[in-house]
Amino acid sequence: MSSPELSPASPLLRPMTPPRRPSTPTRTPPRNPSTPPRTPMRRPSEPPTPVLRALGSLDDEPPLAENYHECPVCQRHFSLVRFKHRCKACNRKVCNDCSKSRLRLSDMGLVHRDKKGNIKHDRGRRGARVCDPCARSYFATKMEAAPAAAASANDDDALVLSPSIAPLLSAPRSRPKRSSVPLRLLRTRHYTVFGFFCLVLLLRVAVPGHSLHATDKYPLLLFGTDIARQVLHRLVRLDVFVAALVGLVLLDEVERLRAPPRHRNPSPMRSSIAPPSVHGLEPVVVVAPVIAVHEPNSEDELDSFRLEALVESLLECTSSDTGVNMAAYLDVCAETAKMLVLFGKATAFAASTVAGYMIAIDASLCTNATLIGDDDGGSPWRSRKPPLRRVIGNEVVAGLATVGGKKTPSVSRGVLRLLWFLDFVEATLRLCFVEGDVDDLGPSMSKAYETTLGSRHPWLIRKGVMSALGSVPKRSSILTGMANGKPEADELSRLQKAQELMKRVIDDVRGVLADHELLDLK
């Protein structure tokens, strides 16, 4: 399932962010405490940008230095098959597994800049590569907005950011500079020995041979004698040079052992943040920030998964006489994606993909009112809860079901991809919690993947996913995370009920798509 291009003016649903420890948003201290805060500056040709920048924060990120050999998201080392990419939003170096999302920085309220800080134009509809924390921060921010405010393109209300993702102030980052005590590899004695050998080699080439005689016009030079030539020949021999290098190495080792312990391994690199240049800038009026940060509290359940909410959404889908409605179907997909976060990083990537299709469906229903098929055009489509069968039928009649592609999918294509996702989750719940009671979930999830999504993925992706599914958490730990202090037996019964209801929803949606011959929609 590939993620489509995201639309900025569509109200999003519930966020799909993995549970993290709530952290207090960090504040960047002023450069000079005695200096009053200055008015924000911008270039005359640059449009106004938001005061705050929505970035995903990492809990275990080192405060002063970054590890350039491993991904800060998954803590895995970069390798030949795990490439290194730069997140265009937070400027971190992350691996390709943790930077699958592509978003337009203008939708996030950011300005696209290169490594040197120069402004670059967005690459059209393709978008820029962002890491998973930044993508989840963007989704959580948009999901918290009111539907009416999200539908308006000129709305200036502040959006609430997820408490588990602390935003950072928009400050350009520079290349890491050398510390005050740099790591010196060459010393004066090294330059002296190398310079001496270079001088001797130059004299060896420049000194004339047997062409000087007593009867010559010029007097006999000191370096032209036979003794001088023999000395130069001996000094430029290879064994003499190797002996000098060995002596330098031994002398360096002796001095290193005699040095104090704190000077043996000085830190060679330190990350620094360069202050923004004020040359050629003009003051602008301070506006309200696009992202307002609120303190985390115990009542905020933005990033937590509740099994009761999933069961309620499934009951709403199956209790209606007209069949599954679009709003409840998207709510089920959102809650299911949040549940997959508990299964580890092997399945957490599905959250961004599911969110992309949900955004595309929401944008299509907001911009094309004929798909809903009723006369109440003043209220949002979510409050009207249009049946999925009627929406798909209207799209087929209008000839829009088979148009578009991965970047701009139709409603039918998005519903079909979300159906594949629900089919995989239903097979996982059935094999892991209904038919099986083994604590190791790796074989069961691998079987569920092979019978559902694996049949539509190429062999290289299947091989990678099968390897990643071997590291899923234990069955007991997942039940403990879902129970959250409640009896695990009750949560297990709710999971079994959710599996039965999800199977009914899948059969209903598959029947609607089969009636219109859309099950093989590419």
Tell me the range of 184-193, 296-305, 466-475 where mean pLDDT is highest. 466-475
370: domain CATH number is 1.10.3520.10
Instruction: Report residue 210 CA to chain centroid gap.
Output: 73
Through-space distance between the first and last CA atoms of the chain, rounded to whole angstroms: 11
Does any domain span residue 178?
Answer: no
Does any domain span residue 79?
Answer: yes
Q: Which residues contact 371 (CB under 8 A, 6 or more apart)?
A: 364, 365, 386, 391, 394, 395, 398, 400, 411
Whether residues 492 and 418 share a domain: the answer is yes
pLDDT for 245: 85
Whether residues 368 and 517 share a domain: the answer is yes
Does any domain span residue 66?
Answer: yes
Q: How many CB atoms lie within 10 A of CB 503?
A: 18
pLDDT of 433 over the 80 cut: yes
Average pLDDT over the chain, rounded to whole?
70
Whether residues 339 and 466 share a domain: the answer is yes
Q: Higher confidence at residue 55 or residue 455?
A: 455
Does any domain span residue 18?
Answer: no
Model confidence band, residue 143 (pLDDT cutoffs 50, 70, 90): low
Whether residues 318 and 396 share a domain: the answer is yes
Contact 339, 15 (CB under 8 A): no
130: domain CATH number is 3.30.40.10
Whether residues 134 and 212 share a domain: the answer is no
Whether residues 147 and 209 share a domain: the answer is no
Pairing of strands 41-42, 282-283: antiparallel
Q: Higher confidence at residue 401 or residue 64?
A: 401
pTM over 0.75: no
pLDDT of 367 over the 80 cut: yes
Query: Structurally, how many domains does the chain consist of?
Result: 3
Rounded CA-CA distance 353/341 in Å is: 13
Does any domain span residue 10?
Answer: no
Q: Which of 123, 92, 86, 130 is closest to 108 using CA atoms? A: 130
Model confidence band, residue 25 (pLDDT cutoffs 50, 70, 90): very low
Does any domain span residue 394?
Answer: yes
Does any domain span residue 392?
Answer: yes
**Most distant CA pair in the chain, distance:** 123
Does any domain span residue 176?
Answer: no
Whether residues 463 and 345 share a domain: the answer is yes
Whether residues 445 and 479 share a domain: the answer is yes
**Which long-range contacts link 27-31 to residues 24+ away (Cβ below 8 Å)?**
27/169, 28/168, 28/169, 28/171, 31/275
Can you give the residue range of the structural domain that contains 226? 188-265
Q: Which of 349, 347, 362 is closest to 409 using CA atoms? A: 362
Whether residues 147 and 216 share a domain: the answer is no
Rounded CA-CA distance 321/312 in Å is: 16
pLDDT of 19 over the 60 cut: no
Whether residues 158 and 200 share a domain: the answer is no
pLDDT for 301: 38
Whether residues 161 and 283 share a domain: the answer is yes
Residue that the structure tokens 């620094």 belong to: 272
Whether residues 122 and 53 share a domain: the answer is yes
pLDDT of 92 over the 60 cut: yes
Q: Higher confidence at residue 271 or residue 396?
A: 396
- Examine the fold and report which residue of 224, 257, 289 is the final residue of a domain before the chain moves on: 289
Q: What is the mean pLDDT of residues 183-207?
A: 79
- Examine the fold and report which residue of 257, 289, 321 is the final residue of a domain before the chain moves on: 289
pLDDT of 238 over the 50 cut: yes
